[in-house]
Amino acid sequence: MITRMHALTVFSLLLLASLYGCSTTPDAATYPVGKLQLHSALEIEPDAATARLQYGRIVARNAVQEHDPFCVFEIDTVRPEIQVVQPGEFSITGISRSIETFAGMPVFPRYAMRVSLGDDDSPTHIYYKTTFRLHDAQQPVRALTCMSNQNAPGNANFMRHLTMAEIRSALGSWFTLHLAR
């Protein structure tokens, strides 16, 4: 049975974590700007502008296991034909963090209490996203966003952003992150 003091402590910790996670200002010590290197040509499917990477390989949009770390590589254009992004090094012009639901809506601190108490009215998907904004003068690259569903059933971890090791594992040998220190 949850005591009032225990519930208040849990709520306070979740509130602080939610407020910290809502910040979109990058932690320069943790995520400085740098380069993202693509090692092999990457095909973007027709009528799309994204490719998903998980477990070190390209996966179909509907094959992502959302409770595990995955990344979405995004370009500027949607075309009816396959688009190929050539190997190269892309500048990381900025890094941000956000917390969003499945629909891309921000998660507000009031949901933290509901999630901890098992309220059925809370979002079922909560993504702690790290977005690397990209630029390349030769190719229309836009961003690399890495995340996982932190509210997935069986996820006993404290909700948090992915570590660099988890991001690199999702990218596998397709990409290498070179971050300035």
**Domain boundaries in the chain?**
24-107+121-179
Q: In this predicted structure, what is the pLDDT of residue 179? A: 87
Residue 122: predicted pLDDT: 54
**pLDDT for the residue numbered 66:** 86
User: What pLDDT does 47 receive?
Assistant: 97
Of the candidates 117, 120, 115, 119, the one whose C-alpha atom is nearest the C-alpha of residue 151 is: 115
Sign of CA dihedral 170, 173, 178, 181: positive
Low-confidence ranges of the chain (pLDDT < 50): 1, 5-30, 110, 112-117, 119
Query: Which residue, among 48, 79, 177, 76, has the nearest Cα to 135 in the 3D structure?
Result: 76
